[in-house]
Amino acid sequence: MFSHCILFKDEACFICENKGSPLGVVRDECRCPLCPTLPLSIKNPTKLVQHMGAHILLDSKMNGAFNPCSFCLNTGALCSIQLAKGKGMKGTKTVDVIRSRCPNVAKLSITSAAKCIESSLCTNVPLDCPLCLPGSDAVWKYNLLAHFKSIHPTATLKKYSSLAEISQLERTRLKQLFNAKP
């Protein structure tokens, strides 16, 4: 693997390329740190988030993890997810892959990914915290209540709990998926 260092806005940025891959090829596959033999596609971000979301909700290895990223499971502030509004008056929110920082960042449509349907069971999407300043990092839905408790301890949780609701159907289906994984 080769890496190149470039400066971007006074910060170092590294681009890694696999030996033998053509220059500038963006990878489209990643590995879950807890299931390293399972390849996951970045081209299908809803499935990637679904897999990581199952770990966040159900895996005992994730108990106590602070702010796990649903693209890669990094914790703390290692990842920064920024949102962008699509073009036009009816433009939907998506993950801004240019301003976000994550090894597995992918363009994810928030509106469609927030619906629990047969093909996309997980509603864990990055959200703008209603109490943080505009432009702040998005908070993943599954992390939202913990975010309020640690960053906004005086906030009334009941007022915002609907933002973090997970249906019983979603929990049940993710548990089935989690128990069936290789």
Instruction: Dump pLDDT digits (tens) for 137-166.
Output: 999 999 999 999 999 999 988 898 899 999
pLDDT digits (tens, 9 = 90+) for 86-133: 777 777 889 999 999 999 999 888 877 877 777 677 999 999 999 999
Distance from CA of residue 94 to its chain's centroid? 12
Structure tokens at 101: 């920082």
SS3 65: coil
What global pTM score does this model have? 0.81
Helices (H) and strands (E) in the chain, counts: 5, 8
Confidence of residue 36 (pLDDT cuts 50, 70, 90): confident
Spatial distance between the Cα atoms of 30 and 47, rounded to a whole number of angstroms? 12
| Predicted local distance difference test score (pLDDT) of residue 130 | 94
Measured CA to CA, the distance from residue 129 to residue 108 in angstroms comes to 18
Residue 135: pLDDT over 70: yes
pLDDT, position 101: 95
